[in-house]
Structure 1
Amino acid sequence: MVFEDLKTFVAVARNGSFARAAADLCVAQSALSKRVRRLETRLGTALLERRARGVVLTAVGQAFLVRAQRLVDELLDLERNLSSFVQLPTGKVCVALPQRTCGLLAPPVIERCRRELPLVDVQVLEGTNANVHGWLMRGEADLAMTYNADLGAGFSVEPFLVEPLYLFASADVVEAQFGRPVPECCALADLATLPLILPRKPDVVRVLIDRLAAGQGLRPNIIYETDGINVIYGLLKRGMGVTVFSRSTTWSEAVESEHVVAIPFASPLVNWKMYLVRARKNSGAAAIDRVNEIVKQELELLLDNGSWPNARRIVSEAASRP
């Protein structure tokens, strides 16, 4: 039985179509179809039912998929972890980063990995915190930076930094809402009156705002929900509302360009923690170990040189969680 045939069958079954699987694997659709038919011929039975809008698993295909998925995962892990037995790390390492972090961290990490680990293919996955969580759970990411520490026993989770959050808005909106020039700080009670534009749950900012407001007996005045940072930024520039974020990347640049103002909260509770995560099953893989160290070192440099405004390293909690 050919491994590529098994891998192709799993990809087609998970995607529900040959076209989407071909895009994921970067292989021609006709080649995937030949591989699946070769596998079906070897097994002597149909695994997929071809339809106009995709494919569905046959009864035999459903049973076979469970075993095939396990075999493919184990062989891919074996292939990646062989790098631990060679002096020069090799293989592919996937690093998942939230959108708010990617612009700061990804460029220096990729630059160093290309220079120091020429045989390691480092792939950066950028998405929402929910995307990062999904990539970790599905085994698609070896390392990640995330705001979510509840990942289970299969992961090593190291609290790395804490960062205060700010209220962002155009100066005109702030003056109209507060009835005076931009204040030095704002209170949690202001969340009940200000027109908030926030991400949807389970985004870390949204969950935090809901929790803090509930603790004050308040209901946040959310006028619009979107997970798109560029959408939020565009709405703020048009004076349509305010939002809550850290002063990293997009928002720091926006303040410097004077498109928006950043107002700190009086309460120190308005902050988020960021965690460095790796899957325990990949423990000891040389390539992943080296990329993990590079990520840590670049994070430290960002904190030391002030590129991550107001963020600070969590020293007392730096041990990995069990």
Structure 2
Amino acid sequence: MRLKNYLAASMTEAMNQVKEELGPDAIIISAETVDGQFKVVAALEEREDIDFNAADELKITPSRFRFDDSHLRDCLDYHGVIDTVAERILAYCRNLSLERGISDEHRLLSACFAEMFAFGSLLDLNCPVKMFMGVPGSGKSTIIAKVATQARFNKIRCCIISTDNVRAGANHQLEAFAKILETDFFFCKGGRSLFDAVRSARQNYQLVLIDTPGVNPFIAAEIERLRSLAEVVKCEMVMTVDAGKNSFEAVEIAEIFNQFGIKYLLPTRLDLTRRIGSLISIAGCCRIGFCAASVSSGIAQGLASVNHKSLAKLILS
């Protein structure tokens, strides 16, 4: 803003001087009489002339840390992670990169998974009763045998309870494994007998593993039969799922099973798949944690541990 003083014999003359020199946009700051003359203080805003024909010039200040998520986006797309979960992951990684100045993809993705997902252990005895459920052929019986084997190696007293009255072969198989491991095996036909068996088992065993019949989640009668078992005992629910399953179908199935309060997701046949988008999608949509993974059909090889770092490595590999 530019200020100027004007002196004249009359107010009219002073105002004419202002108008002639500063133009109609002049601002009158003050007007007073000094020694018989009129004094006017006026001002004019200085405006920068804009050339609308000139090319636009943008000054870009580069960020100190800039994370290019294009490769990570491609990895999530390759694995088949559904869009809503993938965008959450990418947004978290971008924010974390800016906050902490990290550009390494594995570190960012590991931190993201540590924040988004829960991780636990099937040998955690805070809740000693574990119930396994899933669709037919998802590997529940084999998983239970592997968990029982790990319990034996860790000197944890364990027993197996089967409620599978559909496949007699699965019961014979579990009973045979139990004998090899010198672990007790019980069979229950319904909810009442399961309640009694679990109450008795908790007095003698540190870990109780419950097998349930394979269930088609799209058949209401089968879900209700599973409900009659799931609601009679206090336990941690573990859902087994084929790691190579279509992401959208896997999420739909998991949402149905999650009405029972699934705590952990246990992927099977991880050695036979190269894409784990279904697992990330289930965990992201249904807020189900990870406890372990089966990477071999061999009982003796046990289960592989799953954590935020191993998941990130699988996505980026």
Give the TM-score normalised by the residue count of structure 2. Answer: 0.23
Relative contact order (C-alpha < 8 Å, sep 6+): which is higher? 1
Bigger radius of gyration among the two: 2
Give the TM-score normalised by the residue count of structure 1. Answer: 0.23
Q: Give 1 or 2: higher helix fraction.
A: 1
